[in-house]
Amino acid sequence: MSEPNIDIKEFHWLMDMLQTIDVGLVVLDKEHNIKVWNSFMESHSGLTPLQTKDKNLFDLFEELPKDWLMHKTGSVFMLKNRSFMTWEQRPYLFKFKNNRPITGTEPFMYQNITISPLASTDGNVNHVAIIIYDVTDIAANRNALEKANLELETLSRTDRLTKLNNRGYWEECLSKEFSRYQRYKTTCSVIMFDIDHFKKVNDTYGHQAGDEVIRLVSKVLTNNLRATDIAGRYGGEEFGVILGNTDAESAMVFCERVREEIAALEVTYEGQLIKFTVSLGISQAVDSIPDYVTWLNEADQALYASKEGGRNQTNTFKHS
Amino acid sequence: MTIPVLICDDSSVARKQMARTLPDDWDIEISFAKHGEEALSAIKEGLGDILFLDLNMPVMDGYETLENISKLDLPTMVIVVSGDIQPEAHKRVKDLGAIDFIKKPTSKEALSELLEKFGLYRPTEGIPANAPPVEKTVIKGEIGQIEYRDCIQEIANVAMGQAADLLARLLNVFVKLPIPNVNLLEVSELEMALSQTEGSTTYSAVCQGFIGSGICGEALLIFSDSSFEDIAKLLNYTGDLNRMVELELLMEVASILVGACTNGIAQQLDTNFSQGHPVVLGQHVQVGSLIKANSKRWKKTLAIEITYEIENYNISCDLLLLFTEDSLDNLNKRLSYLMD
């Protein structure tokens, strides 16, 4: 600044440009005293350059993450290398309002920060520049996109009628559970069950009554699940449940509870009383099972045995 | 008396630069070696009273060469010439018997001064500054054909050393330097090269664009997630190692390695790069999913791959510098001073 050969007029418009640029500029010395505070900073903080000149940054802004910022500026002074921070690691450095207070979706300004070493004429770095970019729109868009993707993901794996997992996603989970079993040998069981004579319900009372029955069965199932159990709607009136850390005996307790609760249900649909039952099949994972499809097939065979045995009952697949 | 001088470096560019940096009026015969084993046999033949030795080389690196020289008690004075400017590297080679250390790229003045200090050379008085250099006899080995790739590799070598030095100072550790890998890749090959490192481990990465003088590209820093625990220790982060802390660490190391490396390259190309803001490519993902390369816009890329490892810690990261196809011409022009 003491360069005598810079035209004062030129200096004036150069400063003017730094003042009006839509980016925050702060210059600090080694003690974190403020040397430059441009109009972006003034507008958003409400403090004028005069009020901030030579004041300690941390005295003026007590809410700043002091240790963190000192660590960053410290390494910039030491290594004479620029340091970058993104809004993803820290949404903002200075808590400023969103510059679209009415239409903006975010309550505050997201910021990307660059800390640059400033070399004096003797080559020493006695000052750093903190540059603050407003990236609120980028952050808002990214957040909205992530939220939308999450919703899509949930939608794509959920069965509309029952809100249980759909067949595709449930089978994925089953395959993962089986891999976990193969690696860690954790006890686990799979259950298949379906509603007895469901076609008759549909034919007698209509499809809407059938849907209501499926919804009620799902509700009983959901109410009996523990946090780690994974249930899915496998087909029309067919359901599957993965029970982690559960042997066939405990799975039987689970099945019988569900079976009894369903048998006790009394559904009134358009003035008519509908009663129904379910048949269930269990298979506990053992070493002789080569893949998850076989495992599932065994539960299906146990379910078939329940049908053969007169329905409204549970059977376990016997591994020889 | 004519002194036999041996220059040992795997890079033809570095061999040439070294030969060019030797004082013009120094009465010597030169031999070249491409790695430590060649150097040892040349010294045994009496071709290396003075050895200029690089550190990062294939077959036998500089450290091993120094060990062998002292074990076999070979008659040579070793001056290490390296882009590895970590004070620890300097100390290690001196402990292994090197008389001094000179950093790449070497300058004529610094070298003359060093040689004078050890009484190995005295400038002849009364030689006009513009006198043509005395042609020196080459006894054994050769500089070799200088290829474009060698130039890039040597430039990367120096830049990587500067970056490692900053990292070493920040973390207070010794950074092990590899030989940078330079390749002209098709986009599909890049994806393949990346997915080769794939295993059950997951990775986190940031990228940062750079541009200047018609040269542009992106720097990618890829961390294996198992590295974070040790980095957190070194940077004194306490408490839970959650995603935010990992991101913090990633950005900190990326700022340093990418900044120093691109600056180092820009300096040697006599230009400046402006850097974009770093962007997080992903956390805890498979390496293959990091780059969804826009293969329609570009086909080929010049890739410099540098794998940094930190001694005694489980930390390893890959720095990839990717230059676009349309940067290659300008890069070529700026490299020409190394080629002729």
* List of residues 6+ apart from B296 with CB closer than 8 A: none
> Residue B279 has what DSSP assignment?
E
Say yes or no to pLDDT of A4 above 70: no
- Residue B239 burial (CB < 10 Å; 0-12/13-18/19+)? exposed
Q: Residue B21: phi, psi to the nearest 5?
A: -85, -15
Question: Among B167, B208, B244, B252, which would you mutate to test the A interface (most chain A Cβ atoms within 10 Å of its Cβ)?
Answer: B252
pTM over cut 0.80 = no
At residue A5, the pLDDT reads: 61
Give me the sign of the Cα torsion angle A23, A29, A31, A36. Answer: negative
Nearest chain A Cα to B264, which residue?
A81
At residue B182, the pLDDT reads: 86
pLDDT (tens digit per residue) in A210-226 = 999 999 999 999 999 99
Q: What is the CA radius of gyration of chain B?
A: 22
The reply to whether residue B280 touches residue A83, judged by beta carbons under 8 angstroms, is no
Bridging pattern class, strands B100-103 and B203-212: unpaired
Q: Which residues of A240-278 are buried (b: 16+ CB within 10 A; e: fewer)?
A: bbbbbebebeebbebbeebbebbeeeebeeeeeebebbb
* List of residues 6+ apart from A72 with CB closer than 8 A: A83, A85, A115
B198 pLDDT tier (thresholds 50, 70, 90): very low
The reply to whether residue A79 touches residue B254, judged by beta carbons under 8 angstroms, is no
The reply to whether residue B169 touches residue A133, judged by beta carbons under 8 angstroms, is no
Distance from CA of A219 to the nearest CA of B (A): 36
Least confident interval from A144-148, B99-103, B135-139: B135-139
Through-space distance between the first and last CA atoms of chain A, rounded to whole angstroms: 90
B290 pLDDT tier (thresholds 50, 70, 90): low
Instruction: Compute the average pLDDT of residues B257-285.
Output: 85
> Residue B289 has what DSSP assignment?
G
Query: Can you read off the two tokens belonging to residue B143?
Result: 């500089």
B311 pLDDT tier (thresholds 50, 70, 90): confident
Share of chain B above pLDDT 70, in %: 88
Distance from CA of B254 to the nearest CA of A (A): 9
At residue B177, the pLDDT reads: 85
3-state class of B182 per DSSP? strand
Q: How far apart are CA B275 and CA B267, in angstroms?
A: 14
Touching B: A residues 79-138, CB under 8 Å: 79, 81-86, 88-90, 112, 114, 133
Q: Residue B280 is nearest to which of A78, A82, A88, comparing CB atoms?
A: A88
Q: How far apart are CA A148 and CA B188, in angstroms?
A: 30
At residue B225, the pLDDT reads: 81
Residues on chain B touching A85 (C-beta within 8 angstroms): 251
Instruction: Compute the average pLDDT of residues B156-181.
Output: 86
Residues on chain B touching A114 (C-beta within 8 angstroms): 277
Q: Which of A128-137, B27-36, B103-112, B267-276 has the highest mean pLDDT?
A: A128-137
The reply to whether residue A84 touches residue B247, judged by beta carbons under 8 angstroms, is no
Neighbours of A291 (CB within 10 A): 12
Neighbours of A134 (CB within 10 A): 21
At residue A6, the pLDDT reads: 63
Element (H, E) at B210: strand B203-212
Instruction: Compute the average pLDDT of residues A236-240.
Output: 93
Least confident interval from A201-215, B206-220, B224-238: B224-238
The reply to whether residue B170 touches residue A133, judged by beta carbons under 8 angstroms, is no
* B256: contact with A, CB 8 A cutoff: yes
Query: Can you read off the two tokens belonging to residue A20?
Result: 């009006």
Are B181 and B304 within 8 A, CB to CB? yes
Q: How far apart are CA A251 and CA A317, in angstroms?
A: 12
* List of residues 6+ apart from B236 with CB closer than 8 A: none
* List of residues 6+ apart from B230 with CB closer than 8 A: B310, B313, B314, B315
Q: How far apart are CA B4 and CA B48, in angstroms?
A: 5
At residue A1, the pLDDT reads: 47
Interface predicted TM-score of the whole assembly (ipTM), two decimals: 0.70
Q: Which amino acid is at B260?
A: A
DSSP string, B95-129: HTT-SEEEESSP-HHHHHHHHHHTTS--PPTT--T
The reply to whether residue B251 touches residue A81, judged by beta carbons under 8 angstroms, is no
* List of residues 6+ apart from B87 with CB closer than 8 A: B168
Residues on chain B touching A86 (C-beta within 8 angstroms): 251, 277-280
How many residues in chain A?
A: 320
C-alpha dist (Å) from residue A244 to A177, A189, A230, A251, A281: 8, 7, 9, 10, 16
Question: Among B210, B277, B279, B281, which would you mutate to test the A interface (most chain A Cβ atoms within 10 Å of its Cβ)?
Answer: B277
DSSP 3-state percent helix, strand, coil across chain A (nearest 5):
45, 25, 35
Residues on chain A touching B159 (C-beta within 8 angstroms): none
- Mean pLDDT over all residues of chain A? 90
At residue B195, the pLDDT reads: 55
Q: How far apart are CA A198 and CA A211, in angstroms?
A: 10
The reply to whether residue B170 touches residue A85, judged by beta carbons under 8 angstroms, is no
At residue B291, the pLDDT reads: 66
Are B321 and B219 within 8 A, CB to CB? yes
pLDDT (tens digit per residue) in B68-97 = 998 888 889 899 998 888 888 888 999 998
C-alpha dist (Å) from residue B333 to A75, B326, B330: 35, 13, 5
Helical residues (DSSP H) of chain A, grouped into ranges? 8-20, 39-45, 49-52, 57-60, 66-79, 136-156, 167-184, 198-205, 207-224, 248-263, 292-308
pLDDT (tens digit per residue) in A6-20 = 677 788 888 888 888
Bridge partners (DSSP) of residue A189 are A243, A284
Say yes or no to pLDDT of B188 above 80: no
Say yes or no to pLDDT of A293 above 90: yes
| B233 or A109: which leads in pLDDT | A109
